Structure 1
Amino acid sequence: MTSPSKPGKRSSGGFTLIELMICVVVIGILSAIAYPSYTRHVVAAQRSAAQTHLLQMAAKQTDYLASSRTFGTLAEITALVEVPPAVATRYTLSVTLTDGPPPGYTITATPKVGGTQANDVVLTLTSSGAKTPNDKW
């Protein structure tokens, strides 16, 4: 037989408002720590994709030089190596040719404004193999 509940006694069937607010605060703190770390990881991963593509373009420049006796423009090189969608949507690519002696090129990947890469650095790769900025390669 169940006893009638006494006045002033409450049942233990749920959460109190204080317990719920503590959970909300803990989730907020974890989110404040995790989200910036996640966004830094995404930016670094997309930068890595751009670096890989710059290296592929440099390899195609070498092939182009062997067959044409000159380095190729952006249009000529992108006809040989497809720009991945992850790079095309986040970076603007350019190729600057330099007259010699010896002739050379600079391939540049500039982050597009308004995207996740907007605060990232401009990546460059030259025909001599110089990569800038050094700390991001």
Structure 2
Amino acid sequence: MQIKTMAGFTLLELMIAIGIIGILTSIAIPSYTGYIAQSNRTDAKSSLLQLAQLLERNYTEAGYYNKDSTGTAFSASPPITNSPQSGTALYTLSWSLSYGTYTLTATPVTGTVQAKDSCGSFVLDNFGTKSIASGGTNATASSCWAH
């Protein structure tokens, strides 16, 4: 008599394979999301630095951060209000201006990947001090601004 062998997978083998795929996915997706958030921070930081350069050039010409060379006061919102400037906004940009000082802030937009980012809001002032506001427990200004 001849014994026939069947080819295929058992239910146990299939469940083990699905379990391994689930474990790998649970590790990969948060890591990927973290890398996306980290790369998006670059947009916010470059927009803040661009606004700072605008204000410094204006200060050189006018002697004020809050007025142009004709004495006209700047508006309540900066000329760049979203970062990135094209596409879906991930950060909202704002400024606080006075005669001799400014503070620039990039706040994550609610409902985006950046809203869950541990760095929170980026802040830059006229002294070049780079800080974060409302960051996570492990976030520091130096680690958030470094990448």
Q: TM-score range by the shorter chain?
A: 0.7 to 0.9
Amino acid at match of 1:54: L
State the identity as a percent.
Answer: 35
The structure carrying a bigger helix percent of its residues is 1
Deviation at 1:69, TM superposition (A): 3.0
1 CA distance for matches of 2:84 and 2:16?
A: 48
Higher-Rg structure is 1
| Aligned amino acid, residue 89 of structure 1 | A
Distance 1:68 1:83, change over 3 A: farther
Shift in Å, 1:24? 0.6
Equivalent of residue 11 in structure 1, options 6, 13, 16:
6
Q: Which moved more, 1:89-98 or 1:68-77?
A: 68-77
- Structure 1 residue 92 corresponds to structure 2 residue 92: yes
Please state how far the C-alpha of 1:76 moved relative to its aligned partner. Answer: 5.8
Length, aligned pairs only: 125
Q: 1:61 aligned to 2:63?
A: no
Give 1:77 deviation, angstroms.
4.2
Tell me the TM-score normalized by structure 2: 0.72
Asked if structure 2 preserves the Cα contact closer than 8 Å seen for 1:60 and 1:77, the reply is no
AA of the residue aligned to 2:48: L
In the superposition, the TM-score normalised over structure 1's length comes to 0.77
Question: Are 1:30 and 2:31 matched, yes or no?
Answer: no
Unaligned runs of 5+ in 2: 67-73, 133-140
State the Cα distance separating 1:31 from its structure 2 match: 0.6
Name the CA distance, whole Å, in 2 between partners of 1:97 and 1:83: 22
Letter paired with 1:62? E
Aligned-pair distance for 1:44? Answer: 1.1
Residues 98 and 5 (structure 1), Cα distance of their counterparts in 2 relative to 1, 3 Å cut: farther
